[in-house]
Each structure stands twice: as structure tokens, then as C-alpha cells.
Structure 1
Amino acid sequence: MEKKIEILLRLLKIEFAVAWIIIIGLIAGYETGILEEGVLVGNARAEYIAQLTGVLLAICLIPMSLRIFNLSLTKYIKNLDIENALKSYRRWSEVRIILLLVVAVFNISLYYWTMDTTGLLCGGMAALATMLCVPGRKRMLSELDLLKTEEEEEL
């Protein structure tokens, strides 16, 4: 079981790093001119619709991504056996990171498409929210109620 926990933790850290690589790569792509900036500048209707979509994504998905993980953890994952709990924990961690990544990528792209800071603010909030999802051994064991079991085994 210890090996499975280590593998899961390593995979979650890799997925977290990939999410940040995507965000940084997107910014680098726009800043270096590889991706086109200002696509929506001058089209007021398209700018408005895109910004409204970005804000609504941020308002809905950021809290939902953080809350849905907590609800699944308390109502579902803790009632499973260890092996299934680890699989479910990984799945819900991936869902949480993907939801935040969608918001960040869309809104950062929106910033460069419209050159309006609304997208930058919403994308920054999503990127900052990913910091609440940093995988760690102690955190994972605590959330799965395995920390008590591990301490008991040491005694």
C-alpha cells in the first residue's frame, strides 16, 4: 500500500506541474508572438461575450472545483476501501485541476485576445486557486484519514 501511495503522490505532482507548464507555456506563446494577440480588439460584441463567458467560468468553476472535491471526499471517498479510495482521490484531484486549468487557459487567452485586464484577473484567480491543490503526502493522508492509521502502525 505504501508503494501505491507514493506512486499516486508522484502522479499528482506531475499533473500539477503539467498544469503550470501549460499556463506558463501559454503566456510565453503570447508574449513571444507565436500565438496571435488582439484577435477580438475592435469587435465590441465579441469582446463583451468573451469577457462575460470568462467571468462566468471563473465565478462558477473556481468555487465548484474546490467544493466538489471536498464533497466527494467527505461523502464518497472516505467510505471506500483503501485501493478504491486512492483511485477515486486521483480522479477527483484530476477533475479539480482540469476545471481550474480550463478557467485559467480561457481567461489568460482572453486577456491576450482583448487586451483587457478582466481576463488576466480571472485567469490569475484560477492560477492562484491551483495553489490550494498542491499535492502533498501529509495532506493526502490526512484527507483520506490514513494519517491516524499510519501513526498507529508506527507505535
Structure 2
Amino acid sequence: MKSVLNILRLEAGLSVLISLCFVVLYENDILLVGQWGADRIADYYWAIFMEVATICLIPLSLRLFKWKHVASAIHSDGDKAMLRWGTLRLAMLCVPMMLNTWLYYQFVNVAFGYMGIIGLLSLAFVYPTRTRYIQEMK
């Protein structure tokens, strides 16, 4: 149990750290801001894609462990299934969060920034703690 929790915490922490590194590097002008800013068509398509992905993946990740298939897999396989499904749940939140952070600085579109913040806040509801681990194993 402890090793699974440590791996899941590392995954969550690294994704937040990567997003934070994007912010620090772009805000200190180490990386160039707005490289894709002139391409309004790409901005529009990326915004639509990320809005749909963020809106769909957040509730999906929050309810993932309530599905019968996932719950039975966790009960039967134990730590192995918890690591697999926990990693999937974190990926459904963290990948769009990191991508939204990067896209915010590429297009300088606040919609990406807001979606990244929403992803970060949603991560608090699934952060792997010992108590949550025990509850989800029941």
C-alpha cells in the first residue's frame, strides 16, 4: 500500500511541478510567450478541444472508482489495480492541466489558464492519501 501511495503521490506532484516550471520559465522570459498567438484558427480549435476534454475528464475522473468494473478490479487485484486505475485517474486530470498551462503561454488565451487552474483544484479531490486509499479498497 505504501509504495502504491508513494508512486501516485509522485505522479501528482510531478505534474504540478511541471506546470509550475512552465509558469516560472514563461513568466521570467526564459521561454518565449505567445509564439502561436497570431494563429487564431489554431487557438480556436485548441480551445474547443481542451474545453471539451477538461469538461469531460474531470467528472469522469472523480467518478471513476464508483464504476462496478473498476471497483471489482480494485477489490480482486488489490495494489496492482489500484496503481493502474489511480494512475489513469491522475492522468485524466494532470495531462489536461499541464497542456492547458502550456497552451496558455502559447496563445496568451486566459481560457487555457482558467482550465489549468480548474484542473489543479480538481486534483485536490483525488489526491492519493492513506484514508482515501483505504476507502476505495473497501
Q: TM-score, normalised by structure 2?
A: 0.88
1:3-152 correspondence runs (5 A) = 5-71=1-67, 72-78=69-75, 80=76, 84-145=77-138
CA positional deviation for 1:74: 2.8
Q: Which ranges of structure 2 fall in alignment gaps of 5 or more residues? A: none
CA distance 1:144–1:116, shift in 2 (3 Å):
same
User: Would the aligned equivalents of 2:12 and 2:94 in 1 still touch at CA under 8 Å?
Assistant: no
Matching residue's letter, 1:112: Y
**Identical positions, percent:** 27
SS in 1 for 2:124: helix
Q: Residues 92-115 of structure 1, C-alpha deviation per residue, up to 9 Å, x if partnerless?
A: 111111121111111112211121
Please say if residues 8 and 83 of structure 2, whose CA atoms lie closer than 8 Å, have aligned partners that are also in contact: yes
**Structure-1-length-normalised TM-score:** 0.79
Q: Which runs of 5+ in 1 are unaligned?
A: 146-155
Kept after mapping to 1: 8 A contact 2:97/2:119: yes
Tell me how far 1:70 sits from its aligned partner: 2.9
Work out the CA distance in 1 between the residues paired with 2:3 and 2:71: 23
Q: Considering Cα pairs closer than 8 Å and 6+ residues apart, tell me whether 1 or 2 has the greater RCO.
A: 2
Larger mean CA deviation between 27-36 and 43-52 belongs to 27-36
State the AA in 2 paired with 1:142.
Q
Partner amino acid, structure 2, of 1:127: L
